[in-house]
């Protein structure tokens, strides 16, 4: 699969939601192409020294608007993780990658001793009502989903996030979250 790539310092994983402000011409082109094709684009985290990480998330645009300052605002949702096999940089700086999709983390029901992870996340997300309204109540019962949302918001290095994202399930992320918030 070939996707235009949007490198950012943020982490967004499958079923995650965020909003972006688009102002660079190459990313306006990325948005236009993504809306026309309906195929979305790849959101890729950057390392601490601004290098493209080899994993990303295939995202779809679910809404767009003109912001008060005249810039384009888009709302995106993560669909699936991918590995970048290779990428090219076009004349205007837009990166386009050949990517392979990676399976999602398996769903896992929260156990009673893990409820603090859900409850603490819900408390934090109360500060972001637009984001919270995007999620369903049932989502918060899936430990893998909860760990992914934590990974998106935790103030840790991109390299630490990458180690967790690159794992095959939520367990490394759960251990990290637990060590930080307990």
Does residue 92 sit in the same domain as residue 134?
no
User: For residue 79, what is the domain's CATH number?
Assistant: 2.30.130.40
Residue 107 maps to a domain: no
Torsion of CA 36, 8, 127, 79, to 10 degrees: 50
Does residue 130 sit in the same domain as residue 93?
no
The pLDDT, as a whole number, for residue 181 is: 82
3-state secondary structure of 102: coil
pTM of the model: 0.92
The domain in which residue 32 lies consists of 2-101
Does residue 172 sit in the same domain as residue 137?
yes
Does residue 96 sit in the same domain as residue 119?
no
Q: How far is CA 172 from CA 63, 64, 155, 175, 176, in A?
A: 33, 35, 16, 5, 6
Q: Which of 78, 101, 124 is the last residue of a domain?
A: 101
Residue 171 maps to a domain: yes
Does residue 36 sit in the same domain as residue 61?
yes
User: pLDDT tens-digit profile of 15-43?
Assistant: 999 999 999 999 999 999 999 999 999 99
The pLDDT, as a whole number, for residue 17 is: 95
How many structural domains does the chain have? 2
Does residue 119 sit in the same domain as residue 78?
no
Residue 106 maps to a domain: no
Longest dimension (CA), the chain: 53
Local structure of residue 39 (DSSP, 8 states)? -
Nearest-CA neighbor of 45 among 18, 66, 71? 18
Return contacts of 68-73, CB within 8 angstroms, 24+ apart: 71/21, 71/22, 71/23, 72/21, 72/22, 72/23, 72/28, 72/31, 73/19, 73/20, 73/21, 73/22
Does residue 74 sit in the same domain as residue 49?
yes
Assigned token pair, 137: 């109540």
Does residue 72 sit in the same domain as residue 149?
no
User: pLDDT tens-digit profile of 124-152?
Assistant: 999 887 777 888 888 999 999 999 999 99
């Amino acid at each position: 699969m070939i996707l235009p790539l949007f490198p950012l310092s943020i982490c967004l994983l499958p079923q995650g939601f965020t909003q972006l402000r688009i102002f660079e011409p190459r990313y306006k082109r990325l948005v236009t192409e993504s809306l026309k094709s309906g195929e979305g684009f790849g959101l890729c985290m950057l390392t601490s020294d601004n290098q493209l990480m080899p994993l990303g998330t295939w995202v779809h645009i679910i809404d767009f608007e003109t912001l008060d300052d005249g810039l384009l605002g888009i709302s995106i949702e993560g669909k699936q993780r991918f590995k970048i096999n290779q990428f090219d940089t076009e004349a205007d700086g837009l990166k386009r990658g050949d990517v392979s999709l990676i399976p999602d983390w398996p769903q896992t029901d929260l156990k009673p001793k893990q409820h603090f992870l859900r409850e603490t996340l819900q408390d934090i997300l109360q500060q972001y009502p637009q984001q919270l309204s995007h999620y369903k109540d049932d989502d918060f019962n899936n430990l893998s989903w909860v760990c992914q949302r934590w990974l998106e918001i935790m103030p840790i290095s991109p390299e630490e996030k990458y180690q967790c994202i690159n794992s095959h399930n939520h367990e490394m992320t759960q251990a990290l979250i637990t060590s930080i918030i307990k």
